[in-house]
Amino acid sequence: MRKSTLSRILLSFSVIALTLAACKKDNPDFLIPPPIPDQSFVEEFDTVAMAYKRGWVPINNSNPKGSNVWSQGGAPFPIFEPYSSNGTYAGFIAADYLSTSGTDDVISNWLISPVITMQNGDKISFYTRAQLLPNAFTAGDSTDYGNNLEVCYNRKNDGTNVGVAHDPRSASYNSNTDRGDFELLLSINPPVYNSGTGFWDYKWAHSNPTLFVPGSYPAKWTRFEVTISGLSGPHKGRFAFRYYTLDGGSNGNASAVGIDQVVYSSKK
């Protein structure tokens, strides 16, 4: 074989190899996505105003809406000591039964995180507790009258649509829009419908240890943790806390709940 012919053959193979390599780089099936920057953060709520500047979004979606919003330590006065605090304020955030202006209606008060890129395996941990008030039915006891907190996440988009809150007994209730674009991850002390009374019941926390009810909202700072799952891949979205108590208000369920030391941990 002549050297010139051999050279042409070798050159052709080189061109084909380069072309295949170029095609491979252009094919999305072969592309390696860049690593996701670590999204981990800690929010102490030592200054709630600064937390809002960092991207936290409060939305009182109660029905009917009351005067209460997520505030510093349950302002104007702290309702209990923080779990941890690095400043001069009551270093936690809280919401209470005045989230609704009704006496026994729907409390749906949201605290939504800044936008983050979530991945399966990421973890959210936090501390929470309920406020105890004098028990109107039992002497020598204090109770929270039943509280519920949900942890939700938005895997549809990075928005803050929280839907329209209605009592599940109402004809207006729609389970598809009750949380808007958010989905439930965790519910602390969920409600149980009492068909005998026609009201939503919650397990009550008590100061009297003989009245302790397992599964009630903790009356002391307690740590909870949830793990992100169900994503098809990295997703820019948000997670949220929803203070959600049915038949809540000044003459119904609920007292107040606090949240402290929220930790978002990216999967390693």
pLDDT, tens digit, 9 for 90 and up, residues 53-86: 999 999 999 999 999 999 999 878 899 999 998 8
120, 15: one domain: no
Q: Can you give the CATH number for the domain in which 123 is found?
A: 2.60.120.200
CA distance 221 to 231: 31
Number of other CB atoms surrounding residue 212 within 10 Å: 13
Q: Output phi, psi for 18, to 5 deg.
A: -65, -40
94, 21: one domain: no
Domain span at residue 14? Answer: 1-32
Tens digit of each residue's pLDDT (9 = 90 or more) over 187-228? 999 999 999 999 999 999 999 999 999 999 999 999 999 999
CA distance 56 to 43: 10
123, 156: one domain: yes
Q: Is the per-residue pLDDT at 16 higher than 50?
A: no
Query: Model-level pTM?
Result: 0.87
- Residue 46 CA neighbour count, 13 Å, CB half: 8
Q: Output phi, psi for 81, to 5 deg.
A: -75, 150
SS3 content of the chain, % helix, strand, coil (to 5): 15, 35, 50
190, 261: one domain: yes
9, 68: one domain: no
What share of the chain in percent tops pLDDT 70? 88
27, 58: one domain: no
Instruction: Work out how many domains the chain is built from and give that number.
Output: 2
141, 20: one domain: no
